[in-house]
Amino acid sequence: MRAQLQAVPSLAEVPLQQLRATGVRGLLLDLDNTLVPARTEAVTPEAERFLAQARSLGMQGIIVSNGRRQRAQRIAASLGLPAVGRAKKPFPGGYRRALRHLDLQVCEVAAVGDQMLTDGVGGWLQGVKVFLVEPLSREESLLVQLGRPADRVLRRLLVRRAAD
């Protein structure tokens, strides 16, 4: 199976109903700059609406974060979700742990994140559909800032825009 990569402006543009209609029942969710702005624990109202809509469609989610395990679990618990922290994306270990937790087939799962180099490549390597959202905040670690130019190039080269 070939993974689908798609860039969308925000969580609100991830086509949850369409995904559910094609058999997707689980979501691998990035944390920083996807559900919460970087360096905060404040879940955005958009993320809360997104998760409520996913649940109403019978979809389950799990946070897969490269951040600290305790922080990921704390935020996930506030959302009623499980979490895999220190996932080391794009490497497969964290994704595999999350997929085992969901107990779903790869074809039943989609990933949502803000970085091509971690979320996009990691999801693609697992063979899941990947949706890349624009980051919520410009405040990021130095390592992420250094990777953003390459991230933009990869998005242009590898990602099919939703408007196409």
CATH number at residue 133: 3.40.50.1000
Q: What is the number of domains present in the chain?
A: 1
Please tell me the distance from the alpha carbon of residue 28 to that of residue 119, in angstroms, as a whole number.
Answer: 9
For residue 128, give every residue at least 6 positions away whose Cβ sits within 8 Å of its Cβ, in sequence order, or none.
3, 28, 106, 109, 110, 111
27-38: pLDDT as tens digits: 999 999 999 998
15: helix, strand or coil: coil
- HSE-CB of 37 using CA atoms within 13 angstroms: 8
pTM: 0.87
Q: Quote the domain boundaries for residue 145.
A: 5-161
Strand 83-84 relative to strand 60-64: parallel, antiparallel, unpaired? parallel
71-99: pLDDT as tens digits: 999 999 999 999 999 999 999 999 999 99
